[in-house]
């Protein structure tokens, strides 16, 4: 039997058992509508408020500043469109980076069609924005800076505390997409001057289809869903109680002892980053050498294409991801890899392995054992490698 | 997302490699777009005696190269020129819509190799050869 190794924890993570256990009673037993006044309704309401407090505590916020959403994408949409609308009178200029998630970039594109202006900051070869570029991009009509805490593809961590300080100094609001960052690094919205933050439960052991938006007191994005009084009438609709409870438990677990928990993951990451290049020539590490998510490994392999690599890995029981065009269904490889300055042909051959809490040393041993053979097999099939191997001879 | 046939031809591709004594070589595609197919043929008495391929590309690109080379092996040049991307797709039990261009590439690679054969033989290629391997443009991934 082939082994089964899951190395796509940036795509999603398994639901933790403890999280499921907390969620279960809210499906059949405490099924009341949280807006109802009788006992089972009040129980559901109380559970939501407990979860809200847990989310708030984990990022240094106040529970009144947390709004539950249907996913991370929704939190990004809400933060950006909501501030654009609320601050329309001040101006219509927004600053972001070229390597944001599509949930941010496509939202901004939709605003551009409505007359907003967006500055897309470049990143360096490691995926970092420049604080000087940020400072000089700020204008009197700038209403929002939206820059992700950590990138989902290459794992690069941005200097969010510094960005927050610059935003504050200039009186501009700062939103950060922390979907990948929660549980992987310490985040304190007050100390880091973060005005709005998006998060998503399924990236840290919670259920899929639930997220949250933090919005600092007095920073109110416009109403997202009109209807009932839920989420202080800003995001109406009967709450997904069990999932919200799951989000609360998952974030509590994920943000306690981050340092010691990530140490094990970081060691596995560093081993892959060190040993893969020792075994495979013509490759490049994508992302920052040190300021990167503890579980993120991203390499480009010359002469081969990412989707073929993923299929081969899958045939060997390894689940991973790639930024190649062939996996995205679009013509271009990932916008993130291109923004880092990778030529198209190298960007097509990228592989992301994202390590999570459930991975073991044996998983890493197995990847190191099978990956070199798979890469070689695909290279032996590649007309691009043919030229190189002939030149070598 | 891929049929069993596609996965079979991807995992166990037929006719991978080069032919040192090829008298027809066609290469189509572009590394920038993420797919290149190179086909080697040995043609004798108008018959494709041997055929090999090398492909840089996705799973569908490898599978269509494998299937297309199987379908033209032992055939006459005329029959090989009649091979369509649709026939290759059907032989593979279909491809996802985003991967249709890979089968077009396979058809073009066969054409390009035969074009090269005519050129080497000093024969004017018949007009129906659509692709000479010049189409280095990106096909749309739609
Ligand atoms: C950085 C980033 N932002 C936003 C999202 C979207 O989150 P969700 O899947 O909850 O909509 C993701 C997940 O893919 C992500 O990695
Ligand atoms: S050859 Fe496939 S996209 Fe260009």
Q: What is the ipTM of this complex?
A: 0.90
Comparing C-alpha atoms, which of A288, A290, A203, A294 is closest to residue A250?
A: A203
Asked whether A180 lines ligand 1 (CB < 6 A), one says yes
Q: What is the CA radius of gyration of chain A?
A: 22
* Inter-chain CB proximity B32 and A345 less than 8 Å: yes
Return the pLDDT at B139: 45
Return the pLDDT at B60: 95
pLDDT tens-digit map of A290-345:
999 999 999 999 999 999 999 999 999 999 999 776 666 666 789 999 999 999 98
B33, B35, B54: residue with CB nearest A381: B54
Any residues with CB less than 8 A from the CB of B134 and at least 6 apart, and which?
none
Angle between helices A306-315 and B59-72 (to 10 degrees): 90
Return the pLDDT at A331: 60
For ligand 2, atom 2: residue with the closest CA: B35
Mean pLDDT by 10 residues, chain B (142 residues): 95 96 94 90 96 96 97 96 95 93 93 94 78 50 38
Any residues with CB less than 8 A from the CB of A362 and at least 6 apart, and which?
none
Catalytic annotation on A326?
A: yes
Apex B33 CA angle, B31 and B35, nearest 5? 60
Return the pLDDT at B130: 57
pTM > 0.90: yes
Contact A383, B112 (CB under 8 A): no
pLDDT below 50 — which residues of chain A?
none
Return the pLDDT at A332: 74
Catalytic residue among A161, A223, A283, A326: A326
Contact A141, A93 (CB under 8 A): yes
CA distance A1 to chain B (A): 17
Nearest 5°: phi and psi at A185? -150, 155
Angle between helices A306-315 and B4-11 (to 10 degrees): 100
B80-111 core/surface letters (b: 16 or more CB in 10 A; e: else): bbebebeebbebbeebeebbbbbbbbbbbbbb
Return the pLDDT at B137: 47
Beta bridge partners of B43: B48
Rounded to whole angstroms, how far apart are CA atoms A326 and A321?
12
B33, B38, B59: residue with CB nearest A308: B59
Contact A185, A157 (CB under 8 A): yes
Residue with tokens 């939501």: A48
Return the pLDDT at A388: 81
Return the pLDDT at B141: 40
Any residues with CB less than 8 A from the CB of A52 and at least 6 apart, and which?
A63, A66, A68, A244, A248
Distance of CA A138 to the CA centre of its chain: 25
Any residues with CB less than 8 A from the CB of A202 and at least 6 apart, and which?
A12, A13, A15, A208, A209, A210
Residue in chain B nearest A332 by alpha carbon: B33
pLDDT tens-digit map of A368-378:
999 999 999 99
Return the pLDDT at A2: 74
Return the pLDDT at A46: 97
Q: Which atom of ligand 2 is nearest to the CA of B32?
A: 4
């Amino acid at each position: 039997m082939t082994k089964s190794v899951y190395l796509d924890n940036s795509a999603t993570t398994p639901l933790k058992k403890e999280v499921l256990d907390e969620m279960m009673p809210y499906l059949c037993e405490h099924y009341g509508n949280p807006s109802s006044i009788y006992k089972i309704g009040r129980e559901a309401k109380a559970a939501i408020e407990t979860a809200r407090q847990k989310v708030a505590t984990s990022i240094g916020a106040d529970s009144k500043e947390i709004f539950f959403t249907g996913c991370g994408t929704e939190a990004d949409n809400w933060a950006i469109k909501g501030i654009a609308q609320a601050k329309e009178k001040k101006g219509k200029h927004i600053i972001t980076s070229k390597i944001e998630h599509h949930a941010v970039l496509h939202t901004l594109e939709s605003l551009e069609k409505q007359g907003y202006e967006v500055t897309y900051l470049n990143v360096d070869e490691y995926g970092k924005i420049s604080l000087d570029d940020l400072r000089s991009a700020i204008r009197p009509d700038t209403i929002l800076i939206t820059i992700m805490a950590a990138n989902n593809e290459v794992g690069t961590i941005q200097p969010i505390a510094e960005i927050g300080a610059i935003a504050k100094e200039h009186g501009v609001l700062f939103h950060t997409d922390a979907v990948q960052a929660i549980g992987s690094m310490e985040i304190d919205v007050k100390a880091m001057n973060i005005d709005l933050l998006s998060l998503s439960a399924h990236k840290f052991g919670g259920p899929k289809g639930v997220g949250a938006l933090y919005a600092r007191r007095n920073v109110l994005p416009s109403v997202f869903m009109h209807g009932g009084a839920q989420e202080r009438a800003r995001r109406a609709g009967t709450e997904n109680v069990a999932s919200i409870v799951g989000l609360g438990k998952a974030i509590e677990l994920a943000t306690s002892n981050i340092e010691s928990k990530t140490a094990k993951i970081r060691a596995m990451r560093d081993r892959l980053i060190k040993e893969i290049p020792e075994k495979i020539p013509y490759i490049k590490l994508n992302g920052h050498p040190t300021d990167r998510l503890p579980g993120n490994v991203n390499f480009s392999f010359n002469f081969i294409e990412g989707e073929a690599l993923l299929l081969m890995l899958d045939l060997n029981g390894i689940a991973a991801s790639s930024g190649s065009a062939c996996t995205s269904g679009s013509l271009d490889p990932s916008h993130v890899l291109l923004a880092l300055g990778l030529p198209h042909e190298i960007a097509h051959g990228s592989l992301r392995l994202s390590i999570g809490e459930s991975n073991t040393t044996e998983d890493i041993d197995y990847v190191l054992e099978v990956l070199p053979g798979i890469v070689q097999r695909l290279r032996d099939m590649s007309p691009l490698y043919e030229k190189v191997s002939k030149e070598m001879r | 997302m891929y049929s069993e046939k596609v996965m079979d031809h991807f995992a166990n591709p037929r006719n991978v490699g080069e032919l040192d004594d090829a008298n027809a070589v066609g290469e189509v595609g572009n590394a920038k777009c993420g797919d290149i197919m190179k086909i080697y043929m040995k043609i004798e008495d108008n018959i494709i005696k041997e055929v090999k391929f090398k492909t840089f590309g996705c799973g569908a690109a490898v599978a269509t190269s494998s299937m297309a080379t199987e379908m033209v092996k032992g055939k006459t040049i005329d029959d090989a020129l009649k091979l369509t991307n649709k026939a290759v797709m059907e032989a593979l039990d279909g491809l996802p819509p985003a991967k249709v261009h890979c089968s077009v590439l396979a058809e073009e690679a066969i054409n390009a190799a035969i074009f090269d054969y005519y050129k080497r033989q000093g024969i004017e290629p018949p007009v129906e050869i659509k692709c000479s391997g010049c189409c280095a443009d990106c096909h749309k991934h739609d």
